Structure 1
Amino acid sequence: MSHDTASLKARAQGLLEQAGITINGKRATDLTVHDERTYARVFAHGSLGLGEAYMDGWWDCPDLAGLMSRLLSSRVDDSLRTVDTLLAHLKARFFNLQRGDHAWDVGRQHYDLGNDLFEAMLGKRMVYSCGYWADAWNLDDAQEAKLDLICRKLRLTRGQRILDIGCGWGEALKFAAERYGVSGVGITISKEQAEYARELCRGLPIEIRLQDYHEVDERFDAILSVGMFEHVGGKNYRPWFDVARRCVRPEGLVLLHCIGSNGPPSRPDPWIQKYIFPNSVIPAMSQVATALENLFVVEDWHNLGADYDRTLMAWQANIDAAWPELSARYDERFRRMWRFYLGCSAGIFRSRRDQLWQLTLSPQGVPGGLRVPR
């Protein structure tokens, strides 16, 4: 080991000790380093270097979620701000990466990966968002409970027409149509999702459109958006709420389900930007509150972020169980990339650094108030 490598290793161990993590230790949250180049890569490129080194097999950890939770809870990541982090922040700050052709990037890169991957991961219902575990003991029940909670919060009744902004594979619309007797329109920027959703909702009064949400200009009794707002971008939060206000009837309700941060506007993570969700950013509470000013009354702001940890761990278990079949199409580097994505995401929610919100909004305030279910 060179002097420089030894120095970097010592520096890394000093930082990790703040989080109770040991290099080549025996606990599930300890790192095992297989390639000494890992240290230089991480100090040069921060989270991007850490993730790419993991993808390349340079290091391992039995409990990635536990490792990430320890790192974030102890704020060790603050010591790894690099030029990659700065560039991602500047791009998000000064360029509108979610409009025009860029609005379709995340659909092409992430959601069009292959329905086989998501069918294996997501369980009985193709719902790619946080489940609701208040009374659930497995993923399928948690996702059904989440969908029903959304429908109850929106006070859906037979004969209403609803809009799903970012409808995914159509499960929420299908559930609402079958359980609550509504019709609806779903919009998505993923060709794979649109085709799947049309087939899933065949025979139901549901229209699936491959469309940018800015283009929607018609009235609905209720609007929902689940796990899409993270792709909107700070420059488009106000236009998003403008669209929702324009499209919901005066007596209707809007439900926004999204990941969020209680801190200041965050810097996009370079690894997530490059490998998982291009042009995506987690909204800050202050940004959301400012963007909806004078457009909506916030009837309820529900935080169920701790439930995302359990959801992500269930997704990882499903991927592990299905890997013998998935390995015919996805290589080992992809598997490690996906494991890093799910494990680190679970750690973020376990540390309570990020939250999961459901906002229930009304255009003018519900007379007498709204008793929002839990």
Structure 2
Amino acid sequence: MADAALRLKGLVEQLLGAPLPVRIRAWDGSQAGPPDAPALVVRNRRALRRLLWKPGELGLARAWVAGDLDIEGDLYEGLDLMASLVWERGEDARTLLQALGDPEVRSAARGLVRMAGLPLPPAPPPEEVRRARTHLHTKRSDKRAISHHYDVGNDFYEIVLGPSMVYSCAYWEQDGTLEQAQRDKLELVCTKLGLTPGQRLLDVGCGWGSMAIHAAREHGVSVVGVTLSQEQAAYARKRVADEGLTDRVEIRVQDYRDVADGPYDAISSIGMAEHVGAERYLEYAQDLHGLLRPGGRLLNHQIARRPQKDESAYSVDEFIDAYVFPDGELAPIGTTVTQLERAGFEVRDVESIREHYALTLRRWVANLETEWARAKRLAGAGRARVWRLYMAACALSFERNRIGVNQVLAVKTPESGASGLPLRARTWGAPTA
């Protein structure tokens, strides 16, 4: 087929009723569209079949992960332009079927089918998680979901995260390294918790042990870190031993619901609560409340989505659910605060650090791209492409205020009402008498 790009551009614009803001480079080497714009590279006709059989985000994701689609040029600019065209329009199979009542749309769809070739749905890439959305957030299903995301290989995460091995939003000065920004985030959490030597800290979702090590080394506390990932736990235990902290840090492969050796003086939950799920969130908050001594503090660091018009409807990002965080759910910050208070906490501070996550994600993408060939060898080409798309798209979402991230400081205030916090907000420090 001669000049496939021009034909494809015309059909897509006819189908969507809008001009394409990106350039198209097709499998025959032809190009069409704005010459200075990033190019959407359509490597083969299979990409079209994926989009025709699963219109919208999931079809695009499958084509990307399989290597059928790519972006040539500035990745962030290309994704931003595609978001305005597809994701923000909310296109899915149902809305496109409704649009087929328009003769012009039907004609464009027929043209795309002819270009795509045999109308057989390609199998999803092997990296996709396929399961029924039932029995969410049982201990078994949560362990399986965590393993999918975190047991990719510690060497792969070392590439992405760098020496800090912290997989959550850093806390940035105007200039600085990723490692310093992650250290500053860990210190911010410790400061808000008011940690003092001899206290007990529970780190829920401890990852590769960075928070546990920092708190024990810099603040003299004893730490129990829990994770569901075997690979994380093994890595964290080695780091603890290398730091000479085995007498103060214990890393367990354990569900937070099975922790029964409270009370703790403080609990940190950094980037873990997104895995809990709406139907389990109150239970999560109640469990952590029960593990704290009176006057103990919780620092809950969590990504938040914007409220929907209909909060009773289940909402899921198809790409992230299928390829990144199976069963992950984001809640508005107001919902999180309400659930924490329903569990008995007194919420004392909420700090939004949304812009900080965008900066963090861009550094992770840069790390991945710098060692792209090695990352593909370690995790496989498909999985590496998942992470690159996921992190770049999330960076844009934080920059555009589509999602946010917040640190919520809550206290298990005793009946006396003495919270132990200083009179002036954000002058944290040790608990007062």
TM-score clears 0.5 = yes
Which residue identity lines up with residue 48 of structure 1 in the other structure?
L
Moved more, 95-104 or 350-359: 95-104
Select which of 410, 413, 425 maps to 1:371: 425
Which residue identity lines up with residue 97 of structure 1 in the other structure?
L
Paired residue for 1:100? 139
With structure 1 as the length reference, what TM-score do the two structures score? 0.87
Q: In structure 2, do the counterparts of structure 1 residues 324 and 373 end up closer, same or farther at CA, with 3 Å as the change threshold?
A: farther
Which residue identity lines up with residue 12 of structure 2 in the other structure?
K
The answer to whether structure 1 residue 208 and structure 2 residue 208 are counterparts is no
Select which of 60, 79, 86 maps to 2:90: 79
Q: What SS is found at the alignment partner of 2:348?
A: strand
Q: In structure 2, do the counterparts of structure 1 residues 16 and 242 end up closer, same or farther at CA, with 3 Å as the change threshold?
A: farther
Contact 2:137 2:277 in 1 (8 A): yes
Which residue identity lines up with residue 258 of structure 2 in the other structure?
E
2-structure distance, mates of 1:72, 1:9:
15
* 1:22, distance to aligned residue in structure 2 (A): 5.0
Select which of 228, 234, 238 maps to 1:195: 234
Paired residue for 2:151? 112
Paired residue for 1:274? 322
With structure 2 as the length reference, what TM-score do the two structures score? 0.76
Q: In structure 2, do the counterparts of structure 1 residues 257 and 152 end up closer, same or farther at CA, with 3 Å as the change threshold?
A: same
Select which of 38, 41, 44 maps to 2:50: 41
Q: In structure 2, do the counterparts of structure 1 residues 123 and 329 end up closer, same or farther at CA, with 3 Å as the change threshold?
A: closer
2-structure distance, mates of 1:165, 1:12:
48
2-structure distance, mates of 1:16, 1:208:
54
2-structure distance, mates of 1:167, 1:16:
47
Select which of 296, 302, 305 maps to 1:258: 302
Select which of 315, 330, 354 maps to 1:305: 354
Gaps of at least 5 residues in structure 1 are none
The answer to whether structure 1 residue 223 and structure 2 residue 267 are counterparts is yes
1-structure distance, mates of 2:341, 2:274:
19
Contact 1:166 1:225 in 2 (8 A): yes
Q: Deviations over 1:232-288 (max 9, x none)?
A: 111111011001110111111100111111323572212211211111111222431
Contact 1:298 1:362 in 2 (8 A): yes
Q: Greater CA radius of gyration, 1 or 2?
A: 2
Q: Deviations over 1:133-166 (max 9, x none)?
A: 1354221111111111111111111111100010
2-structure distance, mates of 1:170, 1:281:
24
Paired residue for 2:164? 125
2-structure distance, mates of 1:12, 1:129:
40
Moved more, 55-64 or 127-136: 55-64
* 1:322, distance to aligned residue in structure 2 (A): 2.3
Contact 2:170 2:185 in 1 (8 A): yes
Q: What SS is found at the alignment partner of 1:328?
A: helix
Paired residue for 1:237? 281
Percent identical: 34
Q: In structure 2, do the counterparts of structure 1 residues 289 and 96 end up closer, same or farther at CA, with 3 Å as the change threshold?
A: farther
Which residue identity lines up with residue 403 of structure 2 in the other structure?
D
Paired residue for 1:290? 338
Gaps of at least 5 residues in structure 2 are 25-32, 95-128, 414-418, 429-433
Structure possessing the higher relative contact order (Cα contacts under 8 Å, 6 or more residues apart) = 1
Number of residues paired by the alignment? 364
2-structure distance, mates of 1:12, 1:311:
37
* 1:64, distance to aligned residue in structure 2 (A): 3.1
2-structure distance, mates of 1:303, 1:139:
19
2-structure distance, mates of 1:208, 1:10:
54
* 1:208, distance to aligned residue in structure 2 (A): 0.8
Contact 2:153 2:379 in 1 (8 A): no
2-structure distance, mates of 1:149, 1:74:
39
Q: In structure 2, do the counterparts of structure 1 residues 219 and 16 end up closer, same or farther at CA, with 3 Å as the change threshold?
A: farther
Q: What SS is found at the alignment partner of 2:56?
A: helix
* 1:186, distance to aligned residue in structure 2 (A): 0.5
2-structure distance, mates of 1:74, 1:373:
46
CA RMSD of aligned residues (A): 2.8
The answer to whether structure 1 residue 54 and structure 2 residue 64 are counterparts is yes
Paired residue for 1:246? 290
Contact 1:234 1:287 in 2 (8 A): no
The answer to whether structure 1 residue 9 and structure 2 residue 12 are counterparts is yes
Contact 2:22 2:37 in 1 (8 A): no
